[in-house]
């Protein structure tokens, strides 16, 4: 039975002694998650394809305060392309040489894919608009957003199973609200891939449950990132102005983009609550209430 003091937020959500890996951890939602984990005491390894981006993220965003005795860290490791098994094997071996276990793998690496605009009722013109999409680009989108996620999780299962008792070792997969709506948002390949990503996380939660590793997913709505805004600043951060959200062509009840703090809350909750498995947490500002499947 918990005492009142046991239920203080510093006890509920401390990640001290947790060791985490974030793919795509140098920018966007991966970086938001990295900051949240490190701020609450975790040692966070970040990987991605661009080593200079990872190093800049660690330099600019590593926690400096030691007043709360958390001592979180951000450590670049890589580079790593999650679509290449040899890269994942190399990163796995490097982590096994440094750490006895992983508490969390957060799979945030992803690409946006090609765009096609279905904005006509004329079938001939519609075909012309969409036929130009490249099947190889569809394959690349799926390979990164789905296949890469699968192998990024599978390779680290032994390290995750070795996490100390009481840590509720887990995986968080970043999917998207885009995989849960009928609206193509002009990118059929991305939305189809993200639908597969969310379902993949459900399947992994069922099939990996005997190992003791939980698998959940976050389906973000509009959050500022290098991928969504096509650029980032010298801190690897991007901004999404309110007017950009208003241009989306459908209601966004929150009336704005999501914040780093809101993403952090979702990440920390799924990281710590050992009674949640197989969940897809919608952090979408209410969009799917308006345009859901």
Catalytic residues, which ones?
175, 190, 194
CA distances from 264 to 39, 90, 152, 213, 270 (A): 10, 29, 21, 21, 10
Is the Cβ–Cβ distance between 63 and 38 less than 8 Å? yes
Where b means 16+ CB within 10 Å and e means fewer, 208-235 reads beeeebbbbbbbbbbbbbbbbbeebeee
CA distances from 6 to 14, 52, 169, 236 (A): 12, 41, 20, 37
> Would the CA dihedral through 129, 135, 136, 137 be positive or negative?
positive
Question: In this structure, what token pair is assigned to residue 41?
Answer: 């005491």
Is the Cβ–Cβ distance between 283 and 260 less than 8 Å? no
Angle between helices 51-61 and 28-39 (to 10 degrees): 40
């Amino acid at each position: 039975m918990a005492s009142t003091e046991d239920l203080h937020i510093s006890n509920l959500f401390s990640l001290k002694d947790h060791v985490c890996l974030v793919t795509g951890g140098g920018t966007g939602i991966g970086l938001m998650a990295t900051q949240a984990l490190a701020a609450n005491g975790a040692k966070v390894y970040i990987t991605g394809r661009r080593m200079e981006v990872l190093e800049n993220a660690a330099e600019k965003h590593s926690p400096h305060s030691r007043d709360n005795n958390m001592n979180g860290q951000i450590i670049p490791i890589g580079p790593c392309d999650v679509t290449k098994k040899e890269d994942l094997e190399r990163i796995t071996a490097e982590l096994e040489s440094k750490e006895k276990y992983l508490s969390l793998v957060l799979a945030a690496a992803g690409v946006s894919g090609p765009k096609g605009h279905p904005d006509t009722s004329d079938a001939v013109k519609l075909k012309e608009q969409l036929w130009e999409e490249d099947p190889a680009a569809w394959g690349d989108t799926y390979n990164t957003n789905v296949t890469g996620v699968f192998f990024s999780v599978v390779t680290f299962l032994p390290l995750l199973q070795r996490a100390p008792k009481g840590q509720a070792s887990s995986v968080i997969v970043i999917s998207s609200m885009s995989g849960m709506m009928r609206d193509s948002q002009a990118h059929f390949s991305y939305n189809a891939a993200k639908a597969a990503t969310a379902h993949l996380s459900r399947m992994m939660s069922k099939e990996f449950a005997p190992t003791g590793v939980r698998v959940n997913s976050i389906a973000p709505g509009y959050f500022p990132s290098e991928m969504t805004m096509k650029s980032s600043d010298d801190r690897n951060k991007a901004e999404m102005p309110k007017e950009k959200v208003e241009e989306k062509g459908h209601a966004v009840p929150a009336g704005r983009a999501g914040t780093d703090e809101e993403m952090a809350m979702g990440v920390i909750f799924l990281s710590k609550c050992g009674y949640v498995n197989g969940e897809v947490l919608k952090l979408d500002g209410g969009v799917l209430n308006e345009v859901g499947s």
